[in-house]
Amino acid sequence: MKLKFIYVDTPFWRAEVGRIALFMGDIKFDDVRIKREDFSTAKETGTLSDGTVLPFHQIPCLVVDDVSIAQTGAIARFCGKLSGLYPTHDDVNAAKIDDFIDFATDLTVMIDNTPNKTDEEKKRKARRDLATGPLKRKLSMLEKNISSDSEWLVTSNISIADVAIWRLLGWLSSGILDGMPTDLLSGFPKIRKLCLAVDKHPKIQKWISLTYPNNYTRGNY
């Protein structure tokens, strides 16, 4: 089976969850990082310059042999099953993992919908308000859903849920988003502990050393 993972050259969680699962499972794949211009055109046409089809004109996209798979969750589960980071014989744990992946999507959409995208000051204020209001509320829920007894969110080993939450919250707390406070996670000790556990996992460290720019701020946790 030939795998081609398509995204831009950014370690955003939507891509990282699938890429890292494949890497952790020692599954060979072509890590294709497309240029922004190619992506801009493909948003309109649904096809990259090399002919690859993006089913919903979006990325990430995983091409399995000649079949293009879209949607972060679908890709993450596919990669997780191949690599052992998603259960194939435990429907309840599989659903719990889906639960966290969909939660990550909810937070992403919440940020994407920050109003007044054209007015920088209004955008910063909207993000600050989000961080102290609806986003804080969501993070409190996440904190409540993390068990103190286990190192990982769902299974006894690291799963795609842990990788997704780590990268999403790393992005949110890194300072890369203007207006989003970098101490976002300060009141959430269980979330921070989880993020640290993922961050120091040897395979994650290896991936970071291979693919992240030097001194890249992965988050404040």
| Residues in touch with ligand GSH (CB under 6 A) | 12, 14, 43, 57-59, 71-72, 105
Question: Considering only CA atoms, which of 97, 199, 184, 194 is closest in space to residue 138?
Answer: 184
CA angle 125, 127, 132 (to 5 degrees): 95
N-terminal to C-terminal alpha carbon distance within the chain: 38
State CA 209 to chain mean position distance: 18
Of the pair 39, 152, the CB lying nearest ligand GSH is at 39
CB of 156 vs ligand GSH, minimal distance in Å: 27
Q: Which is nearer to ligand GSH, 85 or 168 (CB)?
A: 168
Q: Is 8 helix (H, G, I), strand (E, B) or coil?
A: strand
Nearer Cβ to ligand GSH, position 54 or 94? Answer: 54
Task: Please state the closest distance from residue 187 (CB atom) to ligand GSH, in A.
Answer: 28
Give the C-alpha separation, 68 to 54, whole Å: 7
* Rounded distance between C-alpha atoms, residue 150 and residue 173, angstroms: 24
Q: Which is nearer to ligand GSH, 138 or 190 (CB)?
A: 138
Q: How far is the CB of 197 from ligand GSH (least distance, A)?
A: 25
Q: Please, what is the minimum distance in Å from the beta carbon of residue 50 to ligand GSH?
A: 17
CB of 38 to ligand GSH, least distance (A): 12
Amino acid at 69: I
Pairing state between β 30-34 and 3-8: parallel
| Closer CB to ligand GSH, 76 or 153, in the complex | 76
- Helix (H, G, I), strand (E, B), or coil: what is residue 17? helix
Which residues have a Cβ under 8 Å from the Cβ of 220 and sit 6 or more positions away?
173, 174, 175, 182, 183, 184, 185
- By beta carbon distance, the residue nearest ligand GSH is 58
Min CB(151)–ligand GSH separation in Å: 27
Q: Packing angle between helix 189-200 and helix 160-173, nearest 10 degrees?
A: 110
